[in-house]
Structure 1
Amino acid sequence: MNRHISPDGYRVDGPAGQDDETGADLPAIVGRNLRRLRTRQGHSLDRLAKLSGVSRAMLGQIETGKSAPTISLLWKVATALGVPFASLLTVEKQAGTVVLRRDRSKVLASSEGRFTSRALFPFDSERQVEFYELRVAPFHREDAHAHAPGTRENLIVAKGAIEILVGQHAPVELTEGDAILFEADVPHGYRNSSHGEAVLYLVMTYVETVG
């Protein structure tokens, strides 16, 4: 598998070779998309750095494909640009039926693999709805930055038990079969409160118009 590991432990995994769904190196794809989205909105690197909190030097390295960005960093940039997360991972659109084989999935992992996010949709276009499988190791807590205004998360627990933490609200405990819908434009987190791995399915909905 191709593996791009970032300094803070996040990585992007994918199948080996150039015949996977992206057909190219992921940092290069992110770099091209970032430059396209930035210039389309008329932002300089300096301005985007101020909006996102990501340094100009790092943005430049990402645009040239010299740096593998972290999940956290990509969220910051996507939020600053007001676009869905997957917009930075988009490749050429595929027509017709698309089959996503489990053993060829793109997996984002953090905390030394204790939290993983698998995309259940092709990175073929900008979209307002994204679908993910999340896996959380026993007793692990994963915190997420606030997403773009209006972003909502709809989760269902397929296995195990989980606590959802949203802003300053009290944690919500969920067990297998329970679902929750919440505003994800505030800091939030997922905490596995059980001895076994928790498996969640997430539908992410953005309010921004895609195009």
Structure 2
Amino acid sequence: MSDLDLLTQSLARNVKRWRTERGFTLDTLAARAGVSRGMLIQIEQARTNPSLGTVVKIGDALGVSVTTLLDFEQGPTVRVVPAEQAVRLWHTDAGSYSRLLAGTEAPGPLEMWDWRLMPGEHSTSDPHPAGTVELLHVTAGQLTLTVDGTPYRVPAGASASFEADTTHTYGNEGDVPAELVLAISVPPPAR
């Protein structure tokens, strides 16, 4: 079975598990996530590979991390993720990418990402649920972080934090690759 097939199967199993655990119908989850009921059915039946944005919306609506939705199996209390098992969820032909390094549920989803943005590229994120916070540290190049329409320059060695319940964009306006580590903390869903 290919890695993509494993991810598709894991996503199907975990979306259904967490939807059931939360007591959500397909219609309820569809409304909370802003995703069609038909898409959720296809995901739960492992008949589609949704976009990263769709997986993030479903995770946010369920109050679980992308890591949890893509987890192949339940792990022990201490979980070591080998470098070759980090999941690349977004990439461009120019060489930009994001890799999900690790995640946990503590008390809501908490994720750690490795990002590379090539010169001239950017990635926009939809607003996360209220109370979501992102922390980032730029390790190389310079990041242009735009939050709610306001750009902020974050050079190598600098860090930033922000409330991520508004549209935000990670961009590289420089002439060398920008590299950063990003942590996202999402509050648990209200019951």
AA aligned opposite 1:31: A
Match of 1:193 in 2: 173
Q: Distance in 2 between matches of 1:130 and 1:119?
A: 7
Deviations along 1:161-184, one digit per CA (max 9) or x if unpaired, are 11101113x200011101000011
AA aligned opposite 1:185: D
1:202 alignment partner, SS class: strand
Alignment of 1:75-90 (within 5 A): 75-90=56-71
AA aligned opposite 2:40: L
Tell me, yes or no, if the aligned pair for 2:60 and 2:186 is still in contact at 8 Å.
Answer: no
Distance 1:75 1:97, change over 3 A: closer
Match of 1:149 in 2: 130
Residues 1:159 and 2:158 are matched in the alignment? no
Residues 1:137 and 2:105 are matched in the alignment? no
Distance 1:82 1:96, change over 3 A: closer
Q: Distance in 2 between matches of 1:98 and 1:90?
A: 11
Residues 1:59 and 2:33 are matched in the alignment? no
How does the TM-score come out when normalised to structure 2?
Answer: 0.86
Tell me the CA shift for residue 28 of structure 1: 0.7
Q: 2:161 aligns with which of 166, 177, 181?
A: 181
Q: Distance in 2 between matches of 1:33 and 1:68?
A: 14
Q: 2:97 aligns with which of 116, 119, 140?
A: 116
Sequence identity percentage: 32
Aligned positions, number: 187
Q: 2:72 aligns with which of 74, 86, 91?
A: 91
Unpaired runs of at least 5, structure 1:
5-23
AA aligned opposite 1:33: N
AA aligned opposite 2:156: E
Tell me, yes or no, if the aligned pair for 2:115 and 2:179 is still in contact at 8 Å.
Answer: yes
2:35 alignment partner, SS class: coil
Match of 2:187 in 1: 207
Q: Distance in 2 between matches of 1:150 and 1:3?
A: 33
Deviations along 1:40-96, one digit per CA (max 9) or x if unpaired, are 222221222222221111110100111111110011112222333323123323337
